[in-house]
Amino acid sequence: MNTTKILQAALIAGAVMLAGCTNHVTQTDKYSGFLGDYST
């Protein structure tokens, strides 16, 4: 029972961190210029 709660907490924390990382959108003024075209 205790292991199940720890596993659930770890999964929720992982999902929140992943959502936070994938939600970030880089502004065009922050582009480095490495690529010739960023229009994808």
pLDDT for 1 beyond 70? no
Q: Give residue-wise pLDDT tens across range 17-32.
A: 887 766 667 787 888 8
39 token code pair: 């229009």
In terms of pLDDT, which residue wins out, 36 or 21? 36
Q: Which residues, 6+ apart, have CB-to-CB distance to 38 below 8 Å? A: 28, 31
pTM, 2 dp: 0.49
